[in-house]
Every structure is written in C-alpha cells, then in structure tokens.
Amino acid sequence: MHPNGEIIKRGYDAFGRGDMPTVFGILDAGIRWHVPGQSLLSGDYRGHDEVMAFFKQCMELSQGTLRIDVHDIVANESRVFALCTVSATRAERHAEFLEVHLWRIVEGRAVEFREFQGDEHTENKFWA
C-alpha cells in the first residue's frame, strides 16, 4: 500500500479503538472536514476543535455505536480514497451506509476530508 494509504488506515484503526490522540496526530491542525447533506451532522468543520466536536456529536447521536468498516483504500502522492461502510444505531434503529471518503494529504498529514454518501437521502433521515 502507498504510504499515504498506510497513514489513513492507521487513522481509521485508531478511531475504531477510540484512540483520539493518534487520530489527531494524523490530522493537520487546520484540517478541513466536509460532510454533505441536510442532517444534524452535515456541514463544514475546520481544525481539531471543530472535528472533535463533530466526532462527539456522532457518538452522542449514536449512543457510541458508530463504526467504520474500511473495505478498500487506494492512495497516491496527494489523495487517499477509502471505500467504507459506516454503521450506527439510533433510537433502536440500526443502519449501514456505503460511503467513499476522500482524503487530501500534504507532507504526511491529512489536510482535507470529504465524505461521499451512497444514499444521502437515507443518511439525512437517519441523522435528522
């Protein structure tokens, strides 16, 4: 795997363990984070504080059940694409969403994240 893919894989693994120091060690201090849609989670976040607030909101809304299963990672010198299934339970309703995550990497640090949802309408309803 390309070294940038290894960096992002390490971040997903750390997120799955709840190891936020490792996650934020991979994210540039000025990270730009974009989540599409019209849900409670949709929006643009910038920097560690806003991304951490986003993570906390994800965990609060899902009562800590949010999981990301990475199926495939493709990487080059500046971009990493991750095909993922994001799952969560909310109000006793379980859902799984196929997503593509696009990362931009500069000098070994993630400077931008963009989420592309396979079914934005269903995700909007789930996270409303």
pLDDT tens digits for 26-35? Answer: 999 999 999 9
Percent of all residues in the chain with a pLDDT value above 70, rounded to a whole number: 100
Helix (H) or strand (E) holding 34: strand 27-35
Its sign, for the CA torsion 117, 118, 122, 126, is negative
The predicted model scores a pTM of 0.95
User: CA Rg, the chain, in Å?
Assistant: 14
The amino acid at residue 55 is F
The CATH T-level fold of domain 3-126 is Nuclear Transport Factor 2; Chain: A, (3.10.450)
pLDDT tens digits for 8-45? Answer: 999 999 999 999 999 999 999 999 999 999 999 999 99
